Amino acid sequence: MKIGELVQRSGLSAYTIRYYERIGLLPHADRDRSSRRDYDASILVWIAFLGRLKTTGMPIREMLRYAALREQGAGTETERRQLLETHRERVRVHVAELNACLLILDSKIGGYADAEKRIKDYDTALPRGRREPVGARKARTR
């Protein structure tokens, strides 16, 4: 497939695809007779995996390390697994931190919702008509 189709199917820009190829995250594409890149459809699976690593915050240097090990093939499985396990642990810690932040946000949002409800309940409980300010004194007659 040509780079335009890869752009559409992968969601990456042409610039990003060329950059990933240049730094070694993507294997160099075959070239057609016109010297245009011609990608195999199987690269979409690899691009999707790279996207997951990026989404989970894996640094590019580690992605490059993983890609280099993958390129070396058999015999690097243990090192690739260890790299992914280390990253998974960082992701788990980050998810736990995000969950703690969600609890705080939920608590804060609940507090505002409770305050708004109290104000609304108070406003609807007051009798209709002229309202006297709290602590106001009645005027005396002379």
User: pLDDT for 39-54, tens place per residue?
Assistant: 999 999 999 999 999 9
Q: What are the tens digits of pLDDT across the range 106-137? A: 999 988 888 887 787 777 776 666 666 666 67
SS3 (DSSP) at 139: coil
3 close to 14: Cβ distance less than 8 angstroms: yes
Q: Which CATH class is domain 3-124?
A: mainly alpha
Neighbours of 112 (CB within 10 A): 9
From the list 20, 28, 77, the residue with the least C-alpha distance to 48 is 20
pLDDT single digits (tens) 70-113: 999 999 999 999 999 999 999 999 999 999 999 999 999 988 88
User: Which residue type, as a one-letter code, is found at position 91?
Assistant: V
**Rg of the chain on CA atoms, in Å:** 30
Q: What is the pTM of this model?
A: 0.72
Report whether 71 contacts 46 (CB < 8 A).
Answer: no
The domains of the chain are located at 3-124
